[in-house]
Structure 1
Amino acid sequence: MKMKKYTAPTMVEAMKKVREDFGDDAVILSSSVIKSKGFLGLFQKRSVEVVAGFDQKAEKPIYEPPARAVLPARSDAAESLQAEMQEMKKMIKGMQQSDRTLEKYPDELIPLLVKLQTQGLAHEYIAEAGDALYEQMKKEKKDFTETEQLELLKQWFSAKLREVSFGGISYTKKYINVLGPTGVGKTTTIAKIAARALLEEKKKIGFITTDTYRIAAIEQLRTYANLLQAPVEIAYNATDFAAAIEKLQDRDLIFIDTAGRNYKETKFVEDLQRLVDFSLDMETFLVLSTTSKEQDMDIIIERFEKFPIEKFIFTKTDETSSVGSMINLMLKYSIGMAYFTDGQEVPEDITEANFEKLFTLLLAGDQHA
């Protein structure tokens, strides 16, 4: 493979140089951006360094096996390597397509749109936002300042997210049910919400856990409950769940910590349906980790489509600098956001969601609201 390094003020210019040398079959091996300090990481001077390559395929294979020769079976390692190479090719193709999408916009808009790219916002939304800003620039026949660009982008996002709701628990329903796969931090999140209900709203709280598959999960909830001086009931089946509801009738709010399972498996979703009584006066939230792949979160959401999901709760925003998937999923499923979390401290590291905080989080990356 022939390789060459390119440096240019913008990614668009760098890609033009790559295509001049290698054409559309070029492969982007790596790219990096060096930026000076600026507001929220935007609109600063920057240079782009790209390493591109071109695979000069031989006209004939180096070795042709005899017609009757039996080739050795491919090893698992070889198959794994092949799969990784295919995945990399898809990723590179997506990067190249994205760069071409940005070519139609003036240089003044590129840093902002690149920022949205790095945040993982879907290409279709980046294109819509870019078109809206560019059309306004042409309409007013001028270049926008940094502040004007941000304000226009904010207006576009506000209109786009108008149909989804924001905000935490309503305090109008007795039962707070929290669903989600293993490893997303459900129990800690429940403890944060419950602690605020107790400390700020002076509510009498109680807990039910159906996560009987992991002793550690039960003990973790008991630890939080002891600190909050709140009762905990354990439900192994639907009968236990009904009994727990009866025992906690004197509570203002009852928080239900469901089992963290691999809900890509339909069986576990059906088990949950049989165990929890969803006909109760209940608010149900789905917890997802921002460190998960968006396609995996898609599968989880689709598995829970029969459940009355009020809003999403997104966790671990402090462990990623790419939070665009939150907006992608909210728009795709028309489901709002209740909270996002950014650490393990209870009850501090949780933020009740609103549009302003989400927009700031999107632009700031790893600088949190």
Structure 2
Amino acid sequence: MKMKKYTAPTMVEAMAKVREDFGDDAVILSSNVTKTKGFLGLFRKRSVEVVASYDKTNDQRAYESQVRSIQPVAQPESVERMQREMREIKQMLKDIKQVDHTLGKYPDELLPVLKRLQMQGLANEHIMEIGNLVFDRMKQDKTDFTEDQQIELIRSWFCDQLHNMQFGGISYQKKFINVLGPTGVGKTTTIAKIAARALLEEKKKVGFITTDTYRIAAIEQLRTYANLLQAPVEIAYNEEDFRTAIEKLKDLDLIFIDTAGRNYKEAKFVDDLTKLIDFSLDMETFLVLSTTSKEQDMDTIIRQFDKFPINKFIFTKTDETNSVGSIINLMMKYGIGMAYFTDGQEVPEDLTEASFEKVINLLLEGESHA
């Protein structure tokens, strides 16, 4: 049995290497996401480590043997997690095989751009539609179609798909800025960045309400930012506290609401928000998602929040991933635009107000500037 470890920036790229060496009969023994710190401990880089093997005679027996050696007594939740990861990896290999097979009908000069979109995690259906569009134009023109010309045609395709969606930050026309999202996506830091911009650039009087009473550290983090901005903070443990906080802060221009970071795959925690926050207020609501999360997990969270009036997405941690296609996939699926994306922890610097040009540049060129 042959065994080999692969390291790549994304799981898609790691699986491509596995398939190149071992083909479709590869057995994935383990997968792990690692992060290394960059300059001054910031800008962490994310990589994926995959251990794969190939045994033409007995793949499954080899896999089970390796699992037993790694984890002699597997707990039920560990087994379930490994089985889920195996299903996801098999589906990923299947998707790569499907795209690779379909890409074979396109000329060589078109493949680099399409494979770049594939590595970015753009949905296969979108890649195929883009490929057909560019290939048809190449056949019509009957001339060499440079990569720059391909990119411009692809930009026009995205423009058609996203033209009804709203881009840009807070409007400054609503008093309450409500920020939702699961734990670990960077909501509090993102709120601080937006509030600092409003204070420093627009000269607005800002304040904060936090409903994240489950974590002392979250309250202290928000207080630290508020002290730097010389802005008041109110804590709301229940609906009555929330109403009291609104009354105390009524003279401010903008009130930022930092909601609790919970596992919002569970409907119970979503329902708790409806009992605490009055969504009928003069309010803009943003859903914060991390680009380092699996697209399937982000999709689940979005569906859990479908009862809320989500105005725009905010995507964080774009500096920690090399594939941002999921951003486009989710925007197109739900018809929701983007307010901001973040690429670091510095307040308020590492915050980019979204525009169509900046989002497409992020996908096509890996750059956040138009």
**TM-score w.r.t. structure 2 length?**
0.80
Q: Measure, in 2, the Cα distance between the counterparts of 1:26 and 1:151.
A: 39
Contact 1:176-1:284 at 8 Å conserved across structures: yes
The 3 A distance-change label for structure 1 pair 175 and 78 is: closer
User: Counterpart in 1 of 2:215?
Assistant: 214
Q: Does 1:280 find its partner at 2:307?
A: no
The 3 A distance-change label for structure 1 pair 187 and 135 is: same
Contact 1:169-1:338 at 8 Å conserved across structures: yes
TM-superposed CA distance for 1:83, in Å, is 5.3
User: Counterpart in 2 of 1:41?
Assistant: none
Q: Percent identity?
A: 70
The 3 A distance-change label for structure 1 pair 78 and 193 is: closer
The one-letter amino acid of 1:258's match is T
Q: Does 1:224 find its partner at 2:225?
A: yes
TM-superposed CA distance for 1:78, in Å, is 6.8
Q: Measure, in 2, the Cα distance between the counterparts of 1:80 and 1:213.
A: 27
Contact 2:312-2:336 at 8 Å conserved across structures: yes
Equivalent position SS for 2:220: helix
Per-residue CA distance 1:7-63 (angstroms, 9 max, x = gap): xxxxxxxx9xx99xx9x965598xxxxxxxxxxxxxxxxxxxxxx9976447xx9xx
Q: Which has the greater radius of gyration?
A: 1
Contact 1:26-1:53 at 8 Å conserved across structures: no
Equivalent position SS for 1:307: coil
Contact 1:27-1:92 at 8 Å conserved across structures: no
User: Counterpart in 1 of 2:297?
Assistant: 296
Runs of 4+ displaced beyond 4 Å: 24-29, 52-55, 74-86
TM-superposed CA distance for 1:171, in Å, is 0.5
User: Counterpart in 2 of 1:104?
Assistant: 105
The 3 A distance-change label for structure 1 pair 134 and 260 is: same
The 3 A distance-change label for structure 1 pair 252 and 325 is: same
Q: Which stretch shows the higher mean deviation, 156-165 or 271-280?
A: 156-165
User: Counterpart in 2 of 1:174?
Assistant: 175
Q: Measure, in 2, the Cα distance between the counterparts of 1:231 and 1:330.
A: 34
Which residues of 2 match residues 156-171 of structure 1 at below 5 A? 156-171=157-172
Q: Measure, in 2, the Cα distance between the counterparts of 1:231 and 1:358.
A: 34
Q: Does 1:332 find its partner at 2:333?
A: yes
User: Counterpart in 1 of 2:9?
Assistant: none
TM-superposed CA distance for 1:291, in Å, is 0.2
User: Counterpart in 1 of 2:265?
Assistant: 264
Which residues of 2 match residues 133-212 of structure 1 at below 5 A? 133-212=134-213
Equivalent position SS for 1:212: coil
Structure 2: gaps (5+ residues): 4-15, 29-51, 62-72
Which residues of 2 match residues 1-369 of structure 1 at below 5 A? 27=26, 56-57=56-57, 76=75, 84-365=85-366, 367-369=367-369
The 3 A distance-change label for structure 1 pair 216 and 26 is: closer
The 3 A distance-change label for structure 1 pair 25 and 360 is: closer
The 3 A distance-change label for structure 1 pair 75 and 249 is: closer
TM-superposed CA distance for 1:89, in Å, is 2.7
Contact 2:312-2:338 at 8 Å conserved across structures: yes
Contact 1:2-1:56 at 8 Å conserved across structures: no
Equivalent position SS for 1:309: coil
The 3 A distance-change label for structure 1 pair 347 and 102 is: same
Per-residue CA distance 1:221-265 (angstroms, 9 max, x = gap): 111111111111100000000000000010001000000000011
**TM-score w.r.t. structure 1 length?**
0.80
The one-letter amino acid of 1:345's match is E
Structure 1: gaps (5+ residues): 4-14, 30-51, 62-73
The 3 A distance-change label for structure 1 pair 218 and 99 is: same
The 3 A distance-change label for structure 1 pair 81 and 235 is: closer
The 3 A distance-change label for structure 1 pair 130 and 163 is: same
Per-residue CA distance 1:56-76 (angstroms, 9 max, x = gap): 447xx9xxxxxxxxxxxx954
Q: Measure, in 1, the Cα distance between the counterparts of 2:306 and 2:89.
A: 31
Q: Measure, in 2, the Cα distance between the counterparts of 1:213 and 1:78.
A: 30
The one-letter amino acid of 1:130's match is G
TM-superposed CA distance for 1:359, in Å, is 1.0
Q: Measure, in 2, the Cα distance between the counterparts of 1:28 and 1:115.
A: 26
The 3 A distance-change label for structure 1 pair 57 and 277 is: same
Contact 1:290-1:326 at 8 Å conserved across structures: yes
Aligned residue pairs: how many? 319
TM-superposed CA distance for 1:87, in Å, is 3.8
- CA RMSD between the two structures: 2.7
Equivalent position SS for 1:192: helix
Equivalent position SS for 2:311: strand
Q: Measure, in 2, the Cα distance between the counterparts of 1:228 and 1:103.
A: 56
TM-superposed CA distance for 1:187, in Å, is 0.4
The 3 A distance-change label for structure 1 pair 103 and 307 is: same
Equivalent position SS for 2:178: strand
Q: Measure, in 2, the Cα distance between the counterparts of 1:28 and 1:114.
A: 24
